[in-house]
Every structure is written in structure tokens, then in C-alpha cells.
Amino acid sequence: MHRLCLILFGPPGSGKGTQAKLLRQSLGIAHISTGDMLRARVAAGDALGMEAARVMQTGGLVPDAVVNRMVEDRIEEPDCEKGFILDGFPRTVSQARLLSDVLAAKGISPLVVHLKVDYNVIIARLSGRRQCPTCGALYSVTSNAPTVSEVCDYDGSKMVVRDDDRPEVVGERLRAYERQTAPVLDFLKGAGYAFFEVEGADASPQAIARRIEELIQGVRS
């Protein structure tokens, strides 16, 4: 059986990261988050991280050349042998073209899931998100608040609002998505890949993950 490449597609705040973590556990494959990789480089403070930080803090998209290099190297690591989930990639048509070429060379035909969420829901969701600066745990002030307000349950650190979750930045991120990322849908549909749209806010994350698992089973059976 060919390696599974699941592309989770959708605007910022659509739940791609949450779904990727759930599906990684149930499917036993790697979860590749370009956002997490970029944030790790930012935390490391190297030249690439500093370049990425300047772009991310204003809600822009990191240049394709940077992201492409990381992703192509990442899918060759041992934990991707059985398959992998791409979370947050591709974000532009040029990234999608590169990915298509890379996967074709490896004999991999991806399965694409587009998570659909109303933008008003996304703005409320991201504006209410908090993160622990120490361990990276994510919370929501409405649905997953820490036991003590604004304090991490795991290590007692004071919660912070990520720069890219501030309301003014969320708005710019959504505008950037419309300009640069939404056209990727047309490319992926036109490439002949298995393509599905799933409502990303009408059920629990676990129920949505089960829907995606059923779609995967249907395609691979």
C-alpha cells in the first residue's frame, strides 16, 4: 500500500492542527506542521527564524523557498515512512506545484480534506486562544480554559496571546489567505486528487476526525 499523504486544508483557525494531532494518533503516521517548524526556528533565534518572525508578526506568509525546503527534507525523515499529514502546507499555488512534483516522483497520490469554517467563527476562536510560553499548551477562553484564569495547568506559567492571534493580525491573515491560499483549492481539485470538504465547526473535534477517517478508509479500500 502506498504511503498516505493527507493534506489538511483550510483557513487559519479552521482546526487543522487539532485534527492533525487526533489523526496522527489514530492513523499512526507523522504530523508535519509548517507553523510548528517555523515557530521552532523563531524560538532558536537563528537567521531563518528571525526572518520568519518578522513576517509572521505582521500576519504575512513566509516565502515559499523557505517552507518548501523544510517540507521536502521533512518527509524523508524515518517517521514519515508509513505516511504523513501536512498541516498548513501548501499555502500557495507555487508550493502546491512543487509538492505535486515531489509526491509524483515518490509515487504518492495525496488525499485532500478542506475544513470549512465561517470566518466570524474563526475570528472569535483565534482571538480567544491562549498559549503557554513555556510548554506550548494551547487553551481557549471559551471552550478549554485553564483551571486558574490565564495560568497554565501544567507549569503555572502566565498565558500569552500569540502575536498571530491578535484580532488585527487575524484579519490580515484571513485576507492573505483569500489572496494567496484559497486559489490552491482550484489547483488541488484540478490535479485529480481525492478531494473532500468537511464542516469544521459543527461537531466535536473527535467527531470531525472520525468523519475524516471514514473518508480515508473509503478511498483506500
Q: What whole-number distance in Å separates Cα of residue 206 and Cα of residue 148?
A: 25
The set of residues, in sequence order, having a beta carbon less than 8 Å from that of 44 and lying 6+ positions away, is none
- The H or E element containing residue 51 is helix 47-56
Torsional sign, CA 163, 169, 170, 172: negative
Which of 21, 162, 210, 211 is catalytic? The answer is 162
User: How far, in Å, CA of 147 to CA of 216, rounded?
Assistant: 36
Which of these is catalytic: 16, 39, 125, 130?
A: 16
Catalytic residue among 39, 41, 74, 129: 129
Determine whether 211 is an active site residue. Answer: no
Contacts of 113 (CB under 8 A, 6+ apart): 6, 7, 8, 9, 196, 197, 198, 212, 215
Known active-site residue 91: yes
Q: Which of 39, 41, 91, 125 is catalytic?
A: 91
DSSP for 144-168, please give it: B--SSTTB-TTT-PBPB--GGGSHH
User: Residues 6 or more apart from 90 whose CB is under 8 A from it?
Assistant: 7, 96, 98, 99, 184
**162 labelled catalytic:** yes
Catalytic residue among 39, 41, 125, 173, which?
173
Name 103's Cβ contacts closer than 8 Å, sequence gap at least 6.
5, 109, 110
Residues known to be catalytic: 16, 91, 129, 162, 173
